[in-house]
A and B are shown apart, each in its own frame.
Chain A
Amino acid sequence: MSRTARIRLFWGAAAVIAALYTMACLRLPHFGTAVHPYGDRAVAATLRQRTANTISSINFDQRAFDTLGEESILFGAVLGATALLRRTSHDHNTRPRPVRVLPSTRLFGALLLPVALLTGIYIVAHGQLSPGGGFQGGVVLATALHLAYVAADYRALQRIRPRELLDQADAVAAGAFTVLGLAGLVAGVAYLQNVLPLGTFNTLSSGGLVPVINAAVGIEVASGVIVVLAYFLDQTLFATGPAGGAFRKKAER
């Protein structure tokens, strides 16, 4: 399809969608409505399951099977991205050069890195109590680790980033979610049903299976994001792909 035809088609479709969507919005319950039947039921179920953070209870208990699907998409996307980038990366001839950084920046990074990592672990571990959980904490952990790159250089990041281990951790954590679901089957109930003791409301050990799955998801998200960023950083910092290599060979001739 030509460019102009495509854009014309877009304007036609956009006009129809805009009109129908606006009509639908006008008939929706207004913003801030008091009627939330699903929300009310989810809250009641959460309090029954003695989990303080409703979101975590929904994600890792009430609709844990859906989250398993989401988590598989995440795993598949990480796998696909690394498989696509693996073919042209790893040019071992080039080593990242040490970079000079201001001492104050280095000190700032050295002080902040443990704090940031600890914050990430805290967010994962308290997912059943306060806002947080495996998905958020995993992202915090992954970005926190890259403080080493900001405050020092790529070699420092490589030293604190065991990539092989993280690759495996990603897969093991993704598998752990699936296996944890089997606990329900062993206990004679549904797959991924929360069968662990629910504990005392508003304590770290409350929520039964929720903190356990949270930890698995936290490890998976953290290692997945770190691995993906590692491949992208490698590509950018010192990969010469097939085209560059070919040109270089010609230059040598």
Chain B
Amino acid sequence: MTGVATLNEVLALLALLLVAAVGTVAVLTRDPSRQAVVLAVLGLGLALLFTVLQAPDVALSQLGVGTAVTPLLIMLTVRRIRSKEHQARQGERDERGGPDGTGANGRGGGS
């Protein structure tokens, strides 16, 4: 039993290193919309790790939550706040009576 690592353990080691590296990158990515993409990769890496660790149930929910729901929520929040800031800037310009005083319609359209 001792000494020799099984294939499963080698895969677990690789997945662990991947998760540690991607997690570090996710923290160091200061731009939230970029971070959302890295978090999606982290979610995928975690799902991979959980599968190797014989936890298909957890991998399944991590796959849905980590790669889809959480990054999507972050993206939506970023867009909401950006469009709000855009509106505020446009509003200020309108107040100064700038040439483009067409009202604040800076909402994001479709997808």
Contact = CB atoms under 8 A, between A and B. Distances in A.
Do A and B interact? Answer: yes
Interface of A: 32, 53, 55-56, 94, 96-97, 99, 123, 131-133, 135-136, 139-140, 142-143, 149-150, 153-154, 225, 228-229, 232-233, 235-241, 243-244, 246-248, 250-252
**B interface, by DSSP: helix, strand, loop or mixed?**
helix
Contacts of A247: 87-88, 90-92, 94-95, 104
A136 B108 contact: no
Q: How large is the interface on B (under 10, 10 to 19, 20 to 34, 35 or more residues)?
A: 20 to 34
A139 B61 contact: yes
A131 B9 CA distance: 22
A139 B94 contact: no
B60 A251 contact: no
Contact of A55 (B57, B91, B92): B57
B57 A133 contact: yes
A108 B69 CA distance: 21
B109 A251 contact: no
B107 to A, nearest CB: 6
Contacts of B104: 240, 244, 247-248, 251
Given A232-B73, A243-B88, A135 B107 contact: no
B60 A131 contact: yes
A135 B61 contact: yes
8 closest A-B pairs by CB: A247-B91, A139-B64, A131-B56, A99-B110, A251-B94, A244-B87, A136-B60, A232-B76
B37 interface: no
A136 B61 contact: yes
A53 B94 contact: no
Given A232-B73, A250-B95, A251-B101, A154 B68 contact: no
A146 to B, nearest CB: 8
Interface string B41-70: 000000000000000110111001100110
Given A132-B60, A154-B111, 16 more contacts: A97-B109, A136-B61, A139-B61, A150-B111, A228-B73, A229-B69, A229-B76, A232-B76, A233-B76, A235-B80, A236-B80, A237-B110, A246-B91, A247-B87, A247-B92, A248-B103
Contacts of B35: none
Given A233-B76, A236-B80, A247-B88, A153 B94 contact: no
